[in-house]
Amino acid sequence: MKLIGMLDSPYVRRTAISLKKMGVPFALDQLSVFGGFDAFEAVNPAVKAPTLVTDEGEVLMDSSLIIDFAKRRLATTEEPDGTTSALAHHHRVLALALVASEKSIQVVYERSLRPAERMHLPWLERVERQLASTYKLLETEYGNGASEKAPEDLSQPNIMSAVAWRFSREMIPDLVREQDHPALAAHSARCEATPEFKAYPYPTG
Amino acid sequence: MKLIGMLDSPYVRRTAISLKKMGVPFALDQLSVFGGFDAFEAVNPAVKAPTLVTDEGEVLMDSSLIIDFAKRRLATTEEPDGTTSALAHHHRVLALALVASEKSIQVVYERSLRPAERMHLPWLERVERQLASTYKLLETEYGNGASEKAPEDLSQPNIMSAVAWRFSREMIPDLVREQDHPALAAHSARCEATPEFKAYPYPTG
């Protein structure tokens, strides 16, 4: 199987770390949806990262769907299912981390993909307000011990929260400050120290 | 349970139709993330539609996660699991429909949320190219009989494809034309005629 995308995308990094955690073998092909648009388009005309090409040649997209497919069909380890309220809470924290990523990406796109005179401040302010609220909720979750079992428990909420946090800190450090989110910063540090995160590091330098 | 969001959002409509199909009881509260930002924020500070509030008060987001939660914990009907390749293909078609929605929304946002002088044509052209490719792939899937069993089989790919198609036709008819997508148009018509789609119609007029 081949996973296509750059590790500076939180969705690509989430997927790579999750597949490794599950023991699913794959090769990472770091094509960019920007610099490598045409090459990416040749594999997946929708040009959406991450893209997973299965051994049978099926072209999948969407980090949540790729992980669900791997979990149900390919994983050698299985996450416990838990109770109904545990599942609801698991999904809530995962969704907060997904929204934190999405809003961070919207800010980055608005700032970097268009010339300054095409930026629209009311839109940016709206997205930044959602971003701040989301990270505040996530900090509360982690402050209340959501990741107590990390790094042993690289659950989907724990992976996605740590990946989102690192991405935001790298790309929009002015909007997401460590001193306001000590629990998330500590969670991130624990996760980044695991073999899975080290195998697929955020690209720096 | 309460589902919060407007039916003109393809993610909200997908979720409402899916919950109904599964036999999960819920009340729909049509709050807008635009006109009703402050009221929405009081329930969910991330202001993300759809939002599901469970009977225990857990606040969930993300249509895929809400549907996964409902399917695993609340559903009275269960979709068959199928083989590995069937699951991969199911996820592929569902992802195409999710991308079709996402790219349509990006075009609508670019056109309607910012003044004309803040629109950025290279960005629009890029998104429109992804949108066209995605609908072409989806048309091929449906032309090859992906929805043969619809409307009896309101699977997630079938629901999301029909919801995305209707949204695009209503919002950006200049970019997504019926004559180029006869199989999708026919699939949409079949789905829109089911009780589930009629219960949560696209708001018109």
Per the structure, the complete domain to which residue A181 belongs is given by: 84-199
What confidence tier does A105 reach under pLDDT thresholds 50, 70, 90?
very high
Q: Are residues B124 and B90 in the same domain?
A: yes
- Out of B73, B94, B117, a domain closes at B73
Q: Are residues B150 and B119 in the same domain?
A: yes
What confidence tier does A162 reach under pLDDT thresholds 50, 70, 90?
very high
Instruction: Please report the ipTM that was assigned to this predicted complex.
Output: 0.89
Average model confidence (pLDDT) across chain A: 91
* pLDDT at B81 > cutoff 70: no
> For residue B205, is it within any domain?
no
**CB contacts, 8 Å: B45 with chain A:** 130, 133-134, 136-137
What confidence tier does B144 reach under pLDDT thresholds 50, 70, 90?
confident
Q: Are residues B176 and B130 in the same domain?
A: yes
CB < 8 Å from B in window 58-97 of A: 58-62, 64-66, 68-69, 72-73, 81, 84-85, 87-89, 91-92, 94-96
pLDDT digits over B54-75, tens only?
A: 998 989 999 999 999 998 888 7
CA gap B100, B10 in Å, rounded: 10
Nearest CA of chain B to the CA of A148: how many Å? 20
Q: Are residues A94 and A69 in the same domain?
A: no
- Out of B73, B102, B132, a domain closes at B73
* pLDDT at A80 > cutoff 60: no
**CB contacts, 8 Å: B92 with chain A:** 58-61
* pLDDT at A98 > cutoff 80: yes
pLDDT digits over A186-199, tens only?
A: 999 999 999 999 99
> For residue A97, is it within any domain?
yes
Instruction: Please name which of B139, B141, B119 lies closest in space to residue B131, comparing C-alpha atoms.
Output: B139
What confidence tier does A79 reach under pLDDT thresholds 50, 70, 90?
low
Q: Are residues B65 and B99 in the same domain?
A: no
SS3 A198: helix
Q: Are residues A49 and A140 in the same domain?
A: no
Q: Looking at residue B36, what is its pLDDT?
A: 87
Residue A157 near residue A146 (C-beta atoms within 8 A): yes
Find the CATH number of the domain harbouring B187: 1.20.1050.10
Find the CATH number of the domain harbouring B52: 3.40.30.10
Picking from A68, A117, A130, the nearest residue to B47 by CB comes out as A130
User: How many domains does the structure of chain B reveal?
Assistant: 2
Query: Are A88 and B64 inside 8 Å of each other by CB?
Result: no
pLDDT digits over A9-35, tens only?
A: 999 999 999 999 899 999 999 999 888
CA gap B121, A118 in Å, rounded: 10
> For residue B78, is it within any domain?
no
Nearest CA of chain B to the CA of A133: how many Å? 6
Picking from A95, A123, A133, the nearest residue to B114 by CB comes out as A123
